[in-house]
Structure 1
């Protein structure tokens, strides 16, 4: 085939394993043969409407087969897929669509009002509704139904842009990481090698596909191997247990709060989890107590570390190493390289913190229409600057310490909030915790913790401070602790430390 990108995958899978089940959604299954036919029809229909190489096609909606069909149809044409975060405000979506120059927006019906409002702001925008009604400009199923399913084989190179994935923008204006087809392929190969996926994987996708971790660490690698993806539109504890038992789920990805919710459910002790092979956990630091809780059930939470700019895998801790390396993010992905760097550019000693630099074929070449920010993100020799701080031991295992921007200096000592947060999470009465640095006349800055209690009236703040003081140096112990009903989170679900600072300083 002339197409060397993601758009060729449905065709290649259909010729290899046409009758294998590719997707399951709301109980409906589709084989790779059916997936290929739908993708080709969609691509041909979009082509007939003027879409082609380099054009941007966005998707707004929950996990659904239409997400994947639009992604692969865009890749078939050599167009660029722009997945949108459904948690963003309308103004943020408009900025994203305007910045990317999106021509077509495929949207779920529950986001129809938002889609039509966006079209008022962007008159050139063409709307395609996954579930059409009388207000829709065009229906997704109707477009597939009237378009030929002939195989379209455009010339698409591995270095051409496949997706533009926008960062959350918590530190400024959102910017789109320019992921090539090659970036996505090499990341999927990293996962296949490091996680040891097989063609019999049944992967549960109940974290949003617009997150690079769900898409890159579980969905695309499973489809590359010819396995099955089970698409769920949202995370629900009861449904997750049902699907694991009924569909014999083997692989899933989630953030720590999802795995926490499962382990606190009344169904946890008696649930049949025997089919699970791989539980990938990331997106936030994983509390040690949570890791131990899964280990008691004979399940290893495979921690990892990644970023959108690496498509997203950087470090992964194998299932075999997980019990003995609690709190570590692991070793570099197979085809990727990681090095640590001091502020002066030198290499830190084992155990000494340094900024994580990443190189490899899975690392993007920059940001969409952001030449200055692209230049600042890379070293002179081409390594991507993550902005994250880590240590590495003599065996090559990395532990993520914190974000550079979150670190504060108290009395001349560097304090990494993630280290303090990990200790706070060990306390049995703490459900969630975050730490920020606040001004102090004596020490320059000191820590302030904001915690959420598991049960009302259960948490003694003085006792909690003593708990931390027994485990960390005095300069790391928060000088004050605030109780909160919940922690504010950004569009990607991570704790919004900017909001914490506004609310608690």
Structure 2
């Protein structure tokens, strides 16, 4: 029995990196030997509870040791990890569990009310609660499923290594990404996708065995997992986990643990640089800063350069696990605004919608090819047909983003075909918000678009036409969405308009809305 996937990584590190710390979360520090033993116990315990090869197990919780143990344990028995965004609303959790067909949910005590609400009318047969924070009890008597405590589950099984055949092309993770039609899609990330992305990262970012990586972004997003956690473990480094981001706490951890590497988004770096402790904290250990989601503002770039630091920026998405391009720190000024060069084992081209490759400096659709690119979406045949194009050079993923390559192969993103809003590193798809608002009888038409925000980069704004004979206030709109959507998806402002600018076919012209109401 041979495991070729990520579930084999920690066992190998138990020997290659014996005695070295693997992961620290709060006051808990585990060596690679301890980490591996706990992973094996969980894998055996899940098998004892009926989890079989190919079955899905969902996880609802913030960054924690248990999150990673679940990922690797499932990888070691050939099962599939389904991480859920902790900021989802109850109906959204239900959708993800139903769509993935998850048979089990592992959830933090802090997420208990959302977990209990989320398993209703799904295929989930058992819930395991992780004691990783202050328990927030759900309404008494509501959970009708068998439930256990994570520590008890671990104690019930042996630390013997499970022996299961796992191939690189086997499915490892289903990670949901919002669709342009408002329906989230499960990107199917194989063990090969995750492995090759990690290889790209350690090749282009030059991570070492001595890396001490601070994870300040949630691991239920592919960026933290793919650009930080997995490459660090592949090299045998030390991962420092924070359950949630706090700029002062991040600075404290950098100094205490002599952190060498941080993976984040522009908003987090801005908040760190603006914290009162920024100037007095010893950050001399830092060597690598990587940033995705959007370009780092010049004033933030300068704040870090003043302390001898520079950024490696990049472009990617869940479907590329996530790295597609990276802008080396040495080009941060010369190629400012660029998303960088294709990762070492990845190819990027710009083509028209027929697949004809365009010459340098011509804008077209960004298309990506490589072993880090997913094979498709979970149970989404139509999306799979529309998201890939095949020609003599192979199969390419259609990003839906518009951009161009300059004469040296550096990618510049021009516009988002999908109208996606990136707010503080979170992806917001207006169609999902618009669908929710369309349920209100008082709304005749609605369009959601992004507007600039100094703190978050972008936030949503809703333009609404009120139906004749009705009245509606901004507060009523925002209150209606509260509880139906994750809070970060809810627009930060509303403008009421008499009519929508439309094309001849009746489609709303969002560029005109942005121009008129975007300031």
Give TM class, smaller chain.
0.7 to 0.9
Q: Count residues with an aligned counterpart.
A: 438
Please tell me whether the aligned partners of residues 85 and 491 of structure 1 are also in contact (alpha carbons under 8 angstroms).
no
**Structure 2 vs 1, CA of residues 33 and 452 (structure 1 numbering), >3 Å: closer, same or farther?**
closer
The one of 245, 249, 256 aligned to 1:239:
249
Other-structure match for 2:351 = 341
Other-structure match for 1:220 = 230
Other-structure match for 1:163 = 173
Please tell me whether the aligned partners of residues 22 and 236 of structure 2 are also in contact (alpha carbons under 8 angstroms).
yes
User: After the TM superposition, which residues 167-316 of structure 1 pair with which residues of structure 2 at under 5 Å, given as runs?
Assistant: 167-169=177-179, 171-316=181-326
**Structure 2 vs 1, CA of residues 303 and 182 (structure 1 numbering), >3 Å: closer, same or farther?**
same
Other-structure match for 1:371 = 381
In the TM superposition, residue 493 of structure 1 has moved relative to its aligned partner by: 5.6
Please tell me whether the aligned partners of residues 337 and 358 of structure 1 are also in contact (alpha carbons under 8 angstroms).
yes
User: After the TM superposition, which residues 78-477 of structure 1 pair with which residues of structure 2 at under 5 Å, given as runs?
Assistant: 78-122=78-122, 124-131=124-131, 137-169=147-179, 171-381=181-391, 382-406=395-419, 450-452=451-453
Between stretches 14-23 and 164-173, larger displacement belongs to 164-173
In the TM superposition, residue 491 of structure 1 has moved relative to its aligned partner by: 5.1
In the TM superposition, residue 171 of structure 1 has moved relative to its aligned partner by: 4.1
How far apart in 2 are the matches of 1:345 and 1:106?
A: 43
How far apart in 1 are the matches of 2:203 and 2:454?
A: 40
In the TM superposition, residue 449 of structure 1 has moved relative to its aligned partner by: 8.2
Please tell me whether the aligned partners of residues 11 and 36 of structure 1 are also in contact (alpha carbons under 8 angstroms).
yes
User: What's the secondary structure of 1:120's corresponding residue?
Assistant: coil
How far apart in 2 are the matches of 1:231 and 1:68?
A: 10
How far apart in 1 are the matches of 2:14 and 2:450?
A: 53
**Structure 2 vs 1, CA of residues 18 and 52 (structure 1 numbering), >3 Å: closer, same or farther?**
farther
Please tell me whether the aligned partners of residues 300 and 323 of structure 1 are also in contact (alpha carbons under 8 angstroms).
no
How far apart in 2 are the matches of 1:449 and 1:119?
A: 33
**Structure 2 vs 1, CA of residues 305 and 245 (structure 1 numbering), >3 Å: closer, same or farther?**
same
User: What's the secondary structure of 2:174's corresponding residue?
Assistant: strand
In the TM superposition, residue 351 of structure 1 has moved relative to its aligned partner by: 1.9
Other-structure match for 1:62 = 62
In the TM superposition, residue 492 of structure 1 has moved relative to its aligned partner by: 9.9
In the TM superposition, residue 397 of structure 1 has moved relative to its aligned partner by: 1.2
Q: Deviations over 1:75-121 (max 9, x none)?
A: 11100000000111110010000000001100000111221222333
- The answer as to 2:46 corresponding to 1:36 is no
Residue ranges of structure 1 left out of the alignment (5+ in a row):
408-416, 422-434, 436-447, 455-485
In the TM superposition, residue 292 of structure 1 has moved relative to its aligned partner by: 2.6
Please tell me whether the aligned partners of residues 284 and 494 of structure 1 are also in contact (alpha carbons under 8 angstroms).
no
Between stretches 293-302 and 63-72, larger displacement belongs to 293-302
Other-structure match for 2:26 = 26
How far apart in 2 are the matches of 1:128 and 1:170?
A: 33
